[in-house]
Structure 1
Amino acid sequence: MSKVTALANQKGGTGKTTTTVNLGIGLAMQGKKVLLVDADAQGNLTDSLGFHEPDNLPVSLATVLTKSILEEPYEPDEGILHHAEGVDLMPGNIELSAMEVSLVNTMSRETVLRSYINTIRDRYDYVLIDCMPSLGMMTINALAAADSVIIPVQAHYLPAKGMTQLLQTIARVRRQINPKLTIDGVLVTMVDNRTNFAKDISFILRRDYGDKLRIFQTEIPLSIRAAETSAKGKSIYAHDPHGLAAKAYEAFTKEVQDIGEKRRAKQHKADLSR
């Protein structure tokens, strides 16, 4: 049974794309079949995986979503790219900006991405969607398509206000469009362990949200090496396998896998009791 997870935060610079890359490749290293979906018009995920001119790709996520809206046929693997570290990628580019506008006048506009993902999800164990840093129509589509959400939060600022807004949006999507949507947890990223400020942010997050949400035990350290990976087109495991960031992403991947296994076991038990 495949699992679709959206990585979302309307604030930019939270390590969302880096987390999508390293979680996806971390899962692939555990033998899982993984598809990464770049749902951001900036194409950062696509660029981070070594496809450095996403706007020049002949097929992108916008292409297949347009075909889906127009009810034109397309091959399930149309446009999917393959990365040397074992993950597949549905690339995103600037054409998604026009898609935001097109969706406003589209019937069932919140579920266009879900319709596409449902055609390919059975080929994968995990589908990870890297969302735009906004709460626009593409992010709503990602939340409507997902089984769960991971929220990366940068340890450099007090995220309470932005978190509240995002949690309200997730709750609204759950009520109106996708009742099965759950929050896997909040991942604290870019933690500078040399400062008390980073420790304070982590403490406040756990104090204010720990009873409502899972705050992942793993925290991702601030790392120049991790920042370099997007220019190299590879994961932290390939670029700096023995560094602190690689170890942290490895531990985080295990936490995500454990959640997935528990979910599968629960679903299996529910199926047997029917």
Structure 2
Amino acid sequence: MRSGQVELPRPRQRRVFAVANQKGGVGKTTTTVNIGVALALSGLNVLVIDLDPQGNASTALGIDRTSGTPSSYDVLIGELSAAEAIQTCPDAPRLGCIPATIDLAGAEIELVGMEERETRLRQAIDAIPAEYDYVLIDCPPSLGLLTVNAMTATDEVLIPIQCEYYALEGLGQLLTNIGLVQQHLNPTLNVSTILLTMYDARTKLADQVAHEVRSHFGDKVLRATIPRSVKVSEAPGFGQSVLTYDPGSRGAMSYLDAAKEIAERGTREIV
């Protein structure tokens, strides 16, 4: 843990989040990476599972994702255990990552013909060593079998929502699909956390969107908001999170605040 970094409390039980939003460009992968690093730098053991074939979370964490690297694809099709595919983030030793490689792009087609196709990730996570306090699954911006696997593997969904026009576009369909997973595959699935991203305090629109989201979702919405930030956007290009790229920036401090809220909730809720 870094000097001056506040240590966050461990959750009452391991928490597994599917970080999902079928709308692209909302900060989904950025949120997965930076919340994960914030928790890990604060003394918690974190595993990020990159389930997006684009592999951006793996890249931002400085994780090798060249073809042939043990990956989430190998875990899903049963060739490797989750533990065999974990790499350690070079900037956050408490953070492990199961990367996504190009092989994952064809996984949905292969999964269609497999037994227990919707629960393969859950089985893999159940076998992960107990040392991990948090597991964050970066879902693709779609509602196919990969996202269904993520939602079947967890009780909690974290939805990043950007404070811009069309912020709630597609959200209804996402919530409908979460309801279908609840009904047919995972009755304990719950949208537990909403994070407002790309907040620009100079615009009236950002306040309007934030008000609308808070009115609809209540205390599921974190108090912390993530500002629109050049540093947050730049960091992945250097294979880093914003917390290691520019620790003193507004973006880094905002993600630390969000991680603190998530960790505090984990001490008082059995989720």
* Same-fold status (TM-score > 0.5): yes
Is the Cα–Cα contact under 8 Å of residues 48 and 231 in structure 1 kept in the other structure? yes
Query: What does 1:20-39 correspond to in 2, within 5 Å?
Result: 20-39=32-51
Q: Deviations over 1:71-106 (max 9, x none)?
A: x5x455212111121210000122112111111122
Q: Displacement, 1:237?
A: 1.7
Q: Distance in 2 between matches of 1:138 and 1:65?
A: 9
Count of residues in Structure 1 that have an aligned counterpart in Structure 2: 257
Q: Distance in 2 between matches of 1:115 and 1:75?
A: 10
The letter of the residue matching 2:217 is: G
Q: Deviations over 1:220-264 (max 9, x none)?
A: 00000011110111221211111111111111001111221122x
Q: 1:12 maps to which residue?
A: 24
Q: Deviations over 1:121-164 (max 9, x none)?
A: 52311110000000111001000001201000111223334111
Runs of 5+ unmatched residues, structure 2: 1-12
Q: 1:82 maps to which residue?
A: 88
Q: 2:225 maps to which residue?
A: 219
| Candidates 155, 165, 185, aligned match of 1:147 | 155
Q: Displacement, 1:58?
A: 2.2
Q: Distance in 2 between matches of 1:230 and 1:57?
A: 22
Runs of 5+ unmatched residues, structure 1: 268-274
Q: 2:3 maps to which residue?
A: none
Taking structure 1 as the reference length, the TM-score comes to 0.89
Is the Cα–Cα contact under 8 Å of residues 54 and 92 in structure 1 kept in the other structure? yes
* Counterpart secondary structure, 1:160: coil
Q: 1:96 maps to which residue?
A: 104
* Counterpart secondary structure, 2:224: strand
| Candidates 70, 73, 98, aligned match of 1:59 | 70
Flag as ranges the 4+ runs of structure 1 deviating above 3 A: none
Taking structure 2 as the reference length, the TM-score comes to 0.90
Q: Deviations over 1:3-31 (max 9, x none)?
A: 11110000111111111111111111221
Q: Which has the higher helix share?
A: 1
Query: What does 1:36-51 correspond to in 2, within 5 Å?
Result: 36-51=48-63
Q: 2:172 maps to which residue?
A: 164
Q: 1:270 maps to which residue?
A: none
Query: What does 1:62-141 correspond to in 2, within 5 Å?
Result: 62-66=73-77, 68=78, 74-84=80-90, 85-86=92-93, 87-120=95-128, 122-141=130-149
Q: 2:4 maps to which residue?
A: none
Question: Please, what is the CA RMSD of the aligned residues?
Answer: 1.7
* Counterpart secondary structure, 1:251: helix
The letter of the residue matching 1:232 is: F
* Counterpart secondary structure, 2:119: helix
